[in-house]
Structure 1
Amino acid sequence: MTGLEKILEAIHGDARLVADRILEEAKQQAQEIMAAAESEAEKKAAQIAEKAENDVKDIVSRSESAAALQERKILLETKQELISSIIAKARKSLEELPTSEYMEIILSMVKQYAHNQAGKIKFSARDKNRLPADFDTRLKLALSDRPFGALTVSEGTANVDGGFLLIYEDEEGNPSIEENCSFDALFAAKKDILQDKVNSFLFRE
């Protein structure tokens, strides 16, 4: 082997060593990159899994809250319906009382709502037809504590289901005051109080 060939062979040998070293370094870098990529992928996967789990928990929590809210809403509506039904039945029961008991209630209402002046009391056709013979006398007795209080039964009838209307006229004979003492009006005016009382009775803890 000539000197030139030896030199060329040495150069080729060094080149192979350099190439091998570069290749090895490239492989190592590739492995490091792959490892880093795998680590990042695992990290991303963990983050995605955690977010998905939190999303599921949030959805479940919101669903439970919505269900609880709907349950409370249904319960409240049911309670309100029950309370309204009881109050309606109570009002209806007043209309269906025997005449003697019904008239006692009417006279007690007259004592409570009549003014200390002359006026008329107007009943429904049904109630007017069942007024007892001594009603005028009992009406005067109910107003005995009012020196100017006097009521006469109106010839006309009122469009009410139970109770009555009180009508007071001015000096010229024109209606100036009309007091609605029908059961519907009185129950409507006391609606909140009645609902609270029925609610406390039915659902007291």
Structure 2
Amino acid sequence: MAGLDKIIGQIEEESKGAAARTIEAARAEAEKILEMARKEAEEECGRIERRSDQAVANILERGRSAAELKKRGSLLAEKQRLIGETIARAKEELKSLDGEAYFEMLLKLAVKSAQTGEGELLFSAKDLARLPEGFEEQINAALKDKGAVLHVSAGSRDIDAGFVLTYGGIEENCSFDAIFDSARETLQDKAQELLFS
């Protein structure tokens, strides 16, 4: 029996050695798998971090662009407001000129606007009531070389300042409001140049 015990012992010994080698191989394989998983996890974390950094950079850039756009929009709106205010103030100053300066300006405007032939000037009721004496004669003296004659109408128009010039059935609105409206773009350009250059 001693031989059998010896064989059994040897088999047990070999089994233990084989089990230890199998366990060691399994540990080595598990360590390799873990190391590969760590590397893959690190690489994936790196990719996620890069994507995250890019997303943050994109969001920041969009935010900067949106803020810049809003700033420019606000600045433009404020400039437009100031330009509009300046033009409105200029129009009001012209309307509020004292009688002599006001009618001197209307005389120049009538001479500039007059066409060849006979026409009629229609003023507001307020301006008609305060029209300087000899105003029609002054205009016609200034128009002598132009071949035009203008008559001051006894009727009036519902305008604030300026006049309406008529030739037969054709009217030209030379009220300050109409003149400022028709020259709005030019006036805005001039006001912008004066205010912001």
Kept in 2, the 8 Å contact 1:124–1:161? The answer is yes
- 3-state SS, counterpart of residue 154 of structure 1: strand
**Residues 3-39 of structure 1, C-alpha deviation per residue, up to 9 Å, x if partnerless?**
3443333333222222211111111111111111122
Mapped partners of 2:25, 2:125: distance in 1: 111
Structure 1 runs (4+) greater than 6 angstroms displaced: none
Pairwise CA distance, 1:82: 0.6
Q: Residue 184 of structure 1 is aligned with which of 166, 172, 177?
A: 177
- Aligned positions of 1:88-127 closer than 5 A: 88-127=88-127
Report the equivalent of 1:49: 49
Pairwise CA distance, 1:66: 1.1
- 3-state SS, counterpart of residue 152 of structure 1: strand
Give the AA of the match of 1:191: R
Report the equivalent of 2:143: 143
Unaligned runs of 5+ in 1: 170-174
- Identity, % of aligned pairs? 39
User: When the two structures are superposed, what TM-score results if normalisation uses the length of structure 2?
Assistant: 0.93
Q: Residue 196 of structure 2 is aligned with which of 167, 178, 203?
A: 203
- 3-state SS, counterpart of residue 97 of structure 1: coil
Give the AA of the match of 2:146: R
Kept in 2, the 8 Å contact 1:110–1:142? The answer is no
RMSD over aligned Cα atoms? 1.5
Mapped partners of 1:25, 1:158: distance in 2: 110
- Aligned positions of 1:1-205 closer than 5 A: 1-147=1-147, 149-169=148-168, 175=169, 177-204=170-197
Pairwise CA distance, 1:138: 0.9
**Residues 117-156 of structure 1, C-alpha deviation per residue, up to 9 Å, x if partnerless?**
1121111111111101111211211221232x22212232
Mapped partners of 1:154, 1:8: distance in 2: 141
Kept in 1, the 8 Å contact 2:111–2:139? The answer is no
Mapped partners of 1:8, 1:156: distance in 2: 139
Pairwise CA distance, 1:93: 0.7
- 3-state SS, counterpart of residue 83 of structure 1: helix
Kept in 1, the 8 Å contact 2:121–2:165? The answer is yes
Mapped partners of 1:153, 1:137: distance in 2: 10
Shifted more, 137-146 versus 108-117: the winner is 137-146
Question: Which of the pair is proportionally richer in helix?
Answer: 2
Mapped partners of 1:153, 1:105: distance in 2: 16
Mapped partners of 2:5, 2:67: distance in 1: 90
Pairwise CA distance, 1:54: 2.3
